[in-house]
Structures are given as structure tokens and as C-alpha cells.
Structure 1
Amino acid sequence: MIKIQIPATSANLGAGFDALGLALTYYNYIEMEECDKIDITAADGLDIPTDERNLIYISAKDLFAVCGKKLEGLKLIQTSNIPMARGLGSSSACIIAGLVGANKMLGDPLTKDDLVDLAAQIEGHPDNTAPALLGGIVTAVFDERKVHWVKQEVFTKLKFVAIIPDFELKTE
């Protein structure tokens, strides 16, 4: 069983709309392994898709397809500390979890750059996916195929506070 920790992110920092994001120390935890059926559960009792609509499963399946393999099934246990639809990159965390887990299951055939590119293709932009994978503050631009990125470390004396609304705030 592969265990993955993926951080929440904050994006669109300052003038960096769809280009500048930051990884936070607030995490989702995923356990996953290949199996012969889709077996998805939420360890925390959260209402998540438990079928082929699950974003972690979709991302893992996409990576398998890119590598010329077929994903027959996936056992997935999800602990979601990142609140959904609240501006902290929960969908990006799911995309990165699926890609990182699938890549590990296949023996790491894709590079970190490949994963950054594939995540942006799935999400549509790299502002949350790049820092969820790379950590730190990431400036990234996406030309619809390739992400060009630069990572900066966060100044250690900075502290961030997340204000999480009690209502959904979907990207669209």
C-alpha cells in the first residue's frame, strides 16, 4: 500500500492569477494500491465519490493511460483534511495524489516535470497543482502542453493563516 501526503495550496497570490501558488502545512492523506476493482473509502466519513468519478482515481487512470497501461481497479483510502470548494486546492491535491500514487505503482516512469505537466493538463492551470507537488512557492505558466516553473522556498519567519468560509466557493 502506497501512502501519500499532499498539501493544501493557496493560489492567485497578488498579481499571479493562474500562475503563482503556495503549498501550506495542511494535508490530505491517501493510501492506495492497484487491485481488480474500484474500492474507494473515506477514512474520515466525508461524502466523496466512491466510483470512477473520484478525482484521485481519474488522475491515476490518466497516468496509467499516458504510460500505455490500463488501470483495472484501485483500492483507495482517503483522509481529506483540506476542505472542498473553500479555496485551498482540494481538487489539485486529489489530482496530485492520483498522479504521484499511480507513478509509484508503475515504478516512477514519469519525471517530476512530466507530473507537473500532466497535472496542469488535467486541472487546466498549474497555480495549485505545481505547489501541491513541488512544495514552497511556485511561479508557473502553462502553454497548454508544458508548464514552465520556478520554485522558491518560503521565508521561514513568515506565518500563514487560512480563513475557511462556512460556504462553498467553487472555482467556476
Structure 2
Amino acid sequence: MYSKLTINIPATTANIGPGFDCLGMALDLWNKITVEKGFSEFTIKGYGENDLPTDKTNLIYQSFILPFLHTKETIPNVKIKCYNQIPIARGLGSSSAAIVGGLLAGNNLLKNPLSNNQLLQLASKQDGHPDNVAATIYGNCQLVIDNKSSLFSSNITVPSKLKAICFIPDNSMSTNQARKLLPKKVNMKDAVHNISRTSLLIKSFITNDLTNLSIATEDKLHQPVRAKLYPQMNDFFKTLLIAGARSVFLSGSGPTIIALADEKIKSITYQIRKTAKSHNINGDIRIVSISEKGAHIKT
């Protein structure tokens, strides 16, 4: 019988420019959850400790019980402690991390009756964003396919030399609010534009050829619309590419902006600060690797 279960869950970035709702990538920035049997108790340290619920309405607990409901097993009383390093409502997959962490904990206590693919189905229904969820579960970059109401994910290896330089503004943004701006119909030329860029992006990653990465992350489906919420976005894109970034894109629905780079990290970081200051935007800069690992039990 376990005494304490520890789960590590990565941050994720979704879309990566053109891959709207189908591409996600895990980042080397982690939340940690510990679970042990005992009287029901829930504590949070780090991001959200003053805002997130600490009762059974918490997203982690709601996800923790799903494997028990799915297998019709008795839900145990547990103490759950969360250590959050992933900023909330910043486009870095904090909700996916909570859901996958809870699911993984519950599934492990049941001795893993559910496969990762089954966890992907459950988590996607809970979160609504399979691109984030897949990257959270599997790590690396994931291409998610919705095949007649069933999801599966295909792994894309990202060049290890790439770093993600994340500018995380202090102001949060609701994913639902950001999605409300999106049109119900898109122009055919814009759709073709994104299909070609997504294909080029995948090729760039798997062939380790970063020459056209800036072109490969261009988007016409969601970022131009979301620029209404982030009028500074295009200025960041322009100045960071000039500073040496291989590509720049909005992380998920924002407000975080990510530059991918394999060199000139200091120059790019300096330019982020300069551009942010020119727009009177406060925020944090994190330089992280792409994580090959997804959520996992610490042994």
C-alpha cells in the first residue's frame, strides 16, 4: 500500500501558431501534486493559493474521482496537496495540468485500469482542449486527431536545442473570453494557409531543420482575431524575430507569448523587456526546454 503518491505535471503550449486546436507541446515547467489516504483535505501552495477552491469542487479532485466513477469503484478519502509553478489563466495549460494530474492520481490508486488513450478521452471531455491535454499526458509535441468522436495523438519529436522563451504578462485572460472572438466560419485561403504552415512546422521539427520555422508558425485563423485583446502582440512578434527568435507565437489563447530559439537567448530576452516596457506591460520571463516527459508518477 502506498504511503504518498507524487505526480509531476508539465505546463503546455497549444496551437504553436497555425495548429489551432490540434498541436500542443509540453514545457519544462512543472506542477506537483501529492496524494495520500486519510481524512479529506486539500491545500494549495504557489499560483492560485488564494483564489482556487480547496474543497471537492476543485478541478483536481473532480478529475481524481473520474477513474473511480468510470470503473464503479469506491472513492477513497484523500489528502491532496498542490504545488503550483504553472501560472493560471496565462495560456500555459494550467487547467489541463490540474485535470491530468487528478486523473493520473486516481488511475494509479486503482492500479492503472485506464490506458493513456482512455485518459486522453476523459481529460479532453473535462477540459475541452485536447491539444493541451495530449501534450500534458505524453510530453513532447503532440498532434491530436479527432476521429469520429474518438481522439488519438501522434508524437512529434522537437529538436532538443530549442528553448521556449516565455513572456508571461501579469494580467490574466480567460480562455472562454478569448475564444468568443473567434469566427464560426473561416476564409478558404486562410484555412489553406494554416494547413501548409502546420505541415511545414511538423516537417521542421522532425527533420531538425529550423530554417523556415518563422514561416511555419504563421497563423491566419486565431491570432489576428486575438490581436484585438493583445494590441501589442504583433509588435512582440516583429521585434523578437529581428532579435533572433526562430519563431514567435501566442501560447494557447494568451496572453503569454513564446519565442522559440536555439541561440541569441540574451538578445531575445532583452528585446522582450524592451518591448514590454514600451507598451507598459509588466510580466515574467521564463526560459524553459521542451519537455520530452509528460505527466508522471515520481518514483
Q: What is the TM-score when the length of structure 2 is the normalising length?
A: 0.55
2:66 to 42, 50, 62: 62
User: Gaps spanning 5+ residues in structure 1: where?
Assistant: none
SS of match in other structure, 1:149? strand
Q: How far has the Cα of 1:144 moved from its partner?
A: 7.3
- Establish whether residue 22 from structure 1 lines up as the match of residue 20 from structure 2: no
Q: What is the TM-score when the length of structure 1 is the normalising length?
A: 0.93
Deviation digits for residues 7-48 of structure 1 (CA, Å, limit 9, x no counterpart): 00000122211110000000001101343x431001348222
1:12 is matched with which residue?
A: 15
Asked if 1 retains the 8 angstrom alpha-carbon contact of 2:100 and 2:136, the reply is yes
* C-alpha distance in structure 2 between counterparts of 1:143 and 1:58, whole Å: 26
* C-alpha distance in structure 2 between counterparts of 1:169 and 1:20, whole Å: 20
2:97 to 89, 93, 106: 93
2:117 is matched with which residue?
A: 113
Structure number with bigger Rg:
2
Which structure 1 residue ranges, 4+ long, deviate > 4 Å from structure 2?
none
2:293 is matched with which residue?
A: none
User: Gaps spanning 5+ residues in structure 2: where?
Assistant: 177-299
* C-alpha distance in structure 2 between counterparts of 1:143 and 1:164, whole Å: 34
* C-alpha distance in structure 1 between counterparts of 2:127 and 2:17, whole Å: 21
User: Aligned-residue CA RMSD in angstroms?
Assistant: 1.5
AA aligned opposite 1:21: G
Q: How far has the Cα of 1:145 moved from its partner?
A: 4.0
1:74 is matched with which residue?
A: 78
* C-alpha distance in structure 2 between counterparts of 1:120 and 1:86, whole Å: 19
Sequence identity percentage = 38
Change (3 A) 1:144 1:76: farther
Asked if 1 retains the 8 angstrom alpha-carbon contact of 2:120 and 2:133, the reply is yes
Asked if 2 retains the 8 angstrom alpha-carbon contact of 1:34 and 1:105, the reply is no
